[in-house]
């Protein structure tokens, strides 16, 4: 409100996630010139903490930074079948300004929407990677057993082949061991 008094030409941004996301995309080249080079194609979402800033400030639970990064993947195209190979994920650390690279072994979960429509990520393939006790941890978290014959099809960094989508796009969502989640959309 003070900005409007100081500059009558100033236009305010509504405090909605869509409006904040749109404004961030409009000004990113000006306020973050490194964006295009380091984070091309990455997913950025403004979190509710921004909208609830004053309330969260009182509790100490506020975090005004959202994590963004980029999945490091290779897409193979053979006989109209696609295969995604996960190499890792790069995540921007807002505290240090560094980009932190995580190897595939540091990724808890990765998912593929094999027919991304641009509106929502529908999980059609889901895989887990990680440490040696991953099977035991997952079994405990699910409170159920996983057929040991099926386990190799879930615990992998290369997807099962799938047909090229009619949508012309796929989306890969990666969650690392810290819980940082990124999505990257690929034209195919």
pLDDT of 17 over the 60 cut: yes
Q: What is the pLDDT of residue 173?
A: 92
Q: What is the pLDDT of residue 148?
A: 73
| Total structural domains within the chain | 2
Pick the range with the lowest mean pLDDT from 29-33, 81-85, 86-90, 114-118.
Answer: 29-33
Rounded to 5 degrees, what angle do the CA atoms 171, 175, 179 make?
Answer: 145
Q: What is the pLDDT of residue 131?
A: 59
- Which of 66, 91, 117 is a domain's end point? 66
- Cα–Cα distance for residue pair 163/165, rounded to 1 Å: 6
Domain of residue 58: give its range.
1-66
Same domain, 74 and 61: no
- Which of 44, 66, 88 is a domain's end point? 66
Q: What is the pLDDT of residue 110?
A: 92
The alpha carbon dihedral of 104, 86, 114, 40 has a sign of positive
Same domain, 20 and 35: yes
Q: What is the pLDDT of residue 157?
A: 92
Same domain, 137 and 187: yes
- Which of 24, 43, 66 is a domain's end point? 66
């Amino acid at each position: 409100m003070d900005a409007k008094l100081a500059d009558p030409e100033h236009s305010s941004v509504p405090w909605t996630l869509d409006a904040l996301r749109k404004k961030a995309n409009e000004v990113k080249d000006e306020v973050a010139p490194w964006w295009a080079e380091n984070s091309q194609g990455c997913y950025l979402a403004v979190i509710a903490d921004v909208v609830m800033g004053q309330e969260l400030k009182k509790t100490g639970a506020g975090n005004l930074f959202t994590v963004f990064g980029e999945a490091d993947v290779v897409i193979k195209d053979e006989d109209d079948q696609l295969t995604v190979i996960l190499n890792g994920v790069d995540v921007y650390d807002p505290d240090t300004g560094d980009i932190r690279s995580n190897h595939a072994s540091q990724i808890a979960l990765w998912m593929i929407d094999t027919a991304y429509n641009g509106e929502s990520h529908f999980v059609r393939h889901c895989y887990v990677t990680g440490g040696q006790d991953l099977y035991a941890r997952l079994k405990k978290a699910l409170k159920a057993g996983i057929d040991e014959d099926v386990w190799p099809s879930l615990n992998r960094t290369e997807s099962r082949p799938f047909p090229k989508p009619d949508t012309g796009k796929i989306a890969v969502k990666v969650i690392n061991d810290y819980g940082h989640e990124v999505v990257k959309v690929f034209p195919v």
